[in-house]
Amino acid sequence: MRSLPVIHRHGTTKRYSDSTAHQGTVYLVEVPSLEGGDIRAQTSNLLANVDARLAEAGTDRHHLLLVQVFLTSMDDYEGFNAVWDHWVPEGTAPARACVQVSALAKPGWRVEVIVTAAVPA
Amino acid sequence: MRSLPVIHRHGTTKRYSDSTAHQGTVYLVEVPSLEGGDIRAQTSNLLANVDARLAEAGTDRHHLLLVQVFLTSMDDYEGFNAVWDHWVPEGTAPARACVQVSALAKPGWRVEVIVTAAVPA
Amino acid sequence: MRSLPVIHRHGTTKRYSDSTAHQGTVYLVEVPSLEGGDIRAQTSNLLANVDARLAEAGTDRHHLLLVQVFLTSMDDYEGFNAVWDHWVPEGTAPARACVQVSALAKPGWRVEVIVTAAVPA
């Protein structure tokens, strides 16, 4: 018999979990808690949410592996980076993709991120 | 000498594999088998394909880690969720991202998903 | 005490790393080094960059797990595939997603990819 995989979830609803972790890797998706505000306000809010999700999973922003950034406008690229560059601890930046999509699930959202990070195994 | 990584693939063509698995994690991408139909029909079809791919890899929908959903219209968001919410086993929902893209590879497709799931190691 | 995760990074700047690796999996994002040129030129350039990043991480294109392709136009789908199909070693193709986004970070870029690959643990 092969061993069954153990998945650690947080904030699980019918539709999604706030995070899932398995064998030393955690996955989470974040959107802003607010629908208004400019890109800096939304990014600050979203990255604070990421910090909270990482803490729940037993890790932190020093252990990012891959971050995918979805913006609704590349006009927000500089504003996102201004907050991001300050948030990422020096020497620990993850691989990062950034693309502009046509829309996110709520009209007021300007940014959504997918985070893959390392957690103690 | 470090050990060489062993990758388990299914449905490998010149361009892509239906799934790849490595050290307890499986990756797969699904699109609908049909180009017509509304979002509910395409989603039901696509998620049945996901079930088949997960089974080939030795796991199932109880072990989802991250699902990325690409829709061609947010008008399809509710229809996708109606099928999704019924398909996901209670208490096992993955982290989930959902964005609207400009187009998928075939004009008739309304949805594409990327699935990361746990498999017995 | 659980053991701290060890992350191997290459090309780390304030904003991103060229690649990050953890427990046998490497993550990297690539864009073309040139902003001009057609899709074949940009794809050839980008995939050569991927080869270089994989080599730095101690692996190669035979060990791809998942590749996400973001194109700015599906008119470039055939051109991308023409280069891709020649580049992927027979029998080793990864799971692969391909979507059209509204824009990438630089106006001249036609393609961006996210690569997940296996590395010796």
Please answer yes or no on whether A15 and B84 come within 8 Å at the CB atom: yes
Q: Mean pLDDT over residues B47-72, rounded?
A: 98
Residue A23, in any domain of the structure: yes
Residue A3, in any domain of the structure: no
Q: Which residues contact B48 (CB under 8 A, 6 or more apart)?
A: none
Residue B21, in any domain of the structure: yes
**In which band, very low, low, confident or very high, does the pLDDT at C120 lie, cut at 50, 70 and 90?**
confident
- pLDDT tens-digit map of A67-94: 999 999 999 999 999 999 999 999 999 9
Residue A1, in any domain of the structure: no
Please answer yes or no on whether A5 and B96 come within 8 Å at the CB atom: no
Among B10, B13, B19, B29, most C C-beta atoms within 10 A, so best to mutate, is B29
Partner residues linked to C111 by β-bridges: C71
- pLDDT tens-digit map of A15-52: 999 999 999 999 999 999 999 999 999 999 999 999 99
What does the radius of gyration of chain A's CA atoms come to, in whole angstroms?
15
**In which band, very low, low, confident or very high, does the pLDDT at C74 lie, cut at 50, 70 and 90?**
very high
Residues in chain C with CB shorter than 8 Å from the CB of B29 are 66, 95-97
Concatenated DSSP letters of A59-114: --GGGEEEEEEEES-GGGHHHHHHHHHHHSPTT-PPEEEEEE-SEESSTT--EEEE
CATH classification of the domain holding A44:
3.30.1330.40
Q: Is C51 helix (H, G, I), strand (E, B) or coil?
A: helix
- If phi > 0 it is left, if psi is from -120 to 50 it is alpha, else beta; for residue B30 that is beta
Structural domain span for residue B96: 8-118
Chain C interface includes B17 (CB < 8 A): yes
Chain B interface includes C87 (CB < 8 A): no
This model of the complex carries an ipTM of 0.96
What pLDDT was estimated at residue A39?
Answer: 98
Distance CA(B61)–CA(B59), nearest Å, equals 7
User: For A5, which of B101, B116, B119 is closest by C-beta distance?
Assistant: B119
Number of domains within chain A? 1
Residue B89 has which token pair?
A: 């086993």
One-letter amino acid for residue A1 of the chain? M
The answer, yes or no, to whether residue B1 has pLDDT greater than 60, is: no
Chain B interface includes A49 (CB < 8 A): no
How many CB atoms neighbour CB A92 within 10 A?
16
The answer, yes or no, to whether residue C5 has pLDDT greater than 90, is: no
Please answer yes or no on whether A28 and B95 come within 8 Å at the CB atom: yes
Residue B77, in any domain of the structure: yes
Q: Is B66 helix (H, G, I), strand (E, B) or coil?
A: strand
- pLDDT tens-digit map of C37-52: 999 999 999 999 999 9
Distance CA(B118)–CA(A12), nearest Å, equals 17
Please answer yes or no on whether C5 and A98 come within 8 Å at the CB atom: no
Among B27, B99, B112, most C C-beta atoms within 10 A, so best to mutate, is B27
